[in-house]
Structure 1
Amino acid sequence: MLTLYGVTRSRASRIVWLCHEIGLPFKQVPVIQAYRLPDPDAEDAPLNTHSAQFLKLSPQGAIPVLRDGDLVLSESLACTLYLARKHGQPFGPADADEDALMLQWSFYACTWLEPDALTILFLHRAGQAQPGADQAAVAHAAERLIRPLRVLEDHLSRHGHIVGRRFTVADINLAEVVRYAQSHEALLSQFPALQAWLADCQSRPAFRKMWQARLAEPE
């Protein structure tokens, strides 16, 4: 059985979602991020990314980590792409062309979207007063996202999905990154095809199952 190390309130959510889509059983070991703990090195601290036990598995001290037999794999997008390729269609590539496109769009998510989307996730508080520095950082992040989101909007308006005109791992990888900016309604409202696609992705039973598990975890 697969073993997934990491809480669902992390990039592990992408892997959990895909496993539910495939119907793939897995064991989840809830490793928490060290920065969320007052003293991650305390003797009674829960298993976390500073724990010696976990550092043996992940020297960089980052979640998630996936173990599949003798294979130990880090980097969440590598994990989702590996599982989709191993278990095949409809979520994985049908051929080498689709495989390349899934790689392309996954890299697009983590290079063009994720850094600024994370700024919005951590700093944007819709309807609440914010420090001026946070407001400026969010405004700059939203401005930088317009161009790459416009590219995604155009692609989705023509194809409906990221690759192969069907829901695949590429949709999961992109949707989980776009979600980070979802609270910025003024930004996403500029992209109706993207909003419709994201809503469709998040209405899927596998996403809802992952999301309920995520909400059940401590913040």
Structure 2
Amino acid sequence: MLTIYGVTRSRASRIIWLCHELGLPFRQVPVIQAYRLSDPDAADAPQNTRSESFLKLSPAGAIPVIRDGDLVLSESLACTLHLARKHGQPFGPANETEDALMLQWSFYAAASVEQDALTILFLHRPGQAQSGADQASVANAAERLIRPLAVLEDHLSRNGYLVAGRFTVADINVAEILRYAQSHHELLDRFPAVTAWLKDCQSRPAFMQMWRERLAEPE
């Protein structure tokens, strides 16, 4: 059975969402990020990204990691793309062209969207008092996101989904990255096709199952 190391409140959410789409059973080992613990090295600390047992799997000390048979794999996008390719359509590629496009969109979001989207996730507090520095960081991040979101808007307005006109692992990967910026309504409202696509992705039963599991975990 597939094993996923990492709490759902992490990039493991991408893998878990895909597993629910696939109906793929898995065992989850809830390794938590060390920075979330007051003393991750304490004898009674839960298994975390600085635990010796986990570092044997991930020398980088980062979640998620999967064990799929003899394969131990880190990097969440590598994990989702591997599982989608292994289990095939409809979520994985039907041919080399689809495979290449799924790689393209996943890496595009990671390279062009994720960093600024994370800035919005961590610093954007609608309706709350914010420092001038935080407001400036959010404004700059939103400005930088206009270009990649315009690319997604054009593609999604013409195609509905990212690859082959159907929901695939590429949509999971990109939607989970874009989710970080979702609280910035002023930004997302400029891109109606992106907004509709994201709503469609997040209305899927597999996403909602993952999200319930995520919310059930301690913050």
**Structure 2 letter corresponding to 1:47:** Q
Give me the whole-angstrom Cα distance separating, in 1, the residues matched to 2:215 and 2:55: 26
Shift of 1:127: 1.0
Q: Could you tell me which residue of structure 1 aligns to residue 160 of structure 2? A: 160
**Structure 1 letter corresponding to 2:19:** C
* CA distances 1:68-109 after superposition (whole Å, capped 9, x unpaired): 011000000000000000000000001000000000000001
**Structure 1 letter corresponding to 2:84:** A
What is the correspondence of 1:140-151 to structure 2 with a 5 Å cutoff?
140-151=140-151
Q: Could you tell me which residue of structure 1 aligns to residue 120 of structure 2? A: 120
What is the correspondence of 1:96-115 to structure 2 with a 5 Å cutoff?
96-115=96-115
Runs of 4+ residues over 6 Å off in structure 1: none
* CA distances 1:140-159 after superposition (whole Å, capped 9, x unpaired): 00000000000000000000
Give me the whole-angstrom Cα distance separating, in 1, the residues matched to 2:154 and 2:94: 23
Give me the whole-angstrom Cα distance separating, in 1, the residues matched to 2:45 and 2:137: 33
Question: Which ranges of structure 2 fall in alignment gaps of 5 or more residues?
Answer: none
1:36 aligns with 2:36: yes
**Structure 1 letter corresponding to 2:94:** A
Q: Which secondary structure state, in structure 2, belongs to the residue aligned with residue 72 of structure 1? A: strand
* CA distances 1:36-93 after superposition (whole Å, capped 9, x unpaired): 0111111111100000110011000000000001100000000000000000000000
What is the correspondence of 1:37-52 to structure 2 with a 5 Å cutoff?
37-52=37-52
Q: Could you tell me which residue of structure 2 aligns to residue 55 of structure 1? A: 55
Q: Which secondary structure state, in structure 2, belongs to the residue aligned with residue 27 of structure 1? A: strand
Give me the whole-angstrom Cα distance separating, in 2, the residues matched to 1:42 and 1:200: 43
Give me the whole-angstrom Cα distance separating, in 2, the residues matched to 1:48 and 1:126: 32
Q: Could you tell me which residue of structure 2 aligns to residue 90 of structure 1? A: 90
Q: Could you tell me which residue of structure 2 aligns to residue 23 of structure 1? A: 23
Q: Give the TM-score normalised by the residue count of structure 2.
A: 1.00
Shift of 1:132: 1.1
Q: RMSD value over aligned CA atoms? A: 0.4
* CA distances 1:125-147 after superposition (whole Å, capped 9, x unpaired): 11111111111110000000000
Give me the whole-angstrom Cα distance separating, in 1, the residues matched to 2:123 and 2:37: 20
Q: Give the TM-score normalised by the residue count of structure 1.
A: 1.00
**Structure 2 letter corresponding to 1:142:** A
**Structure 2 letter corresponding to 1:151:** V
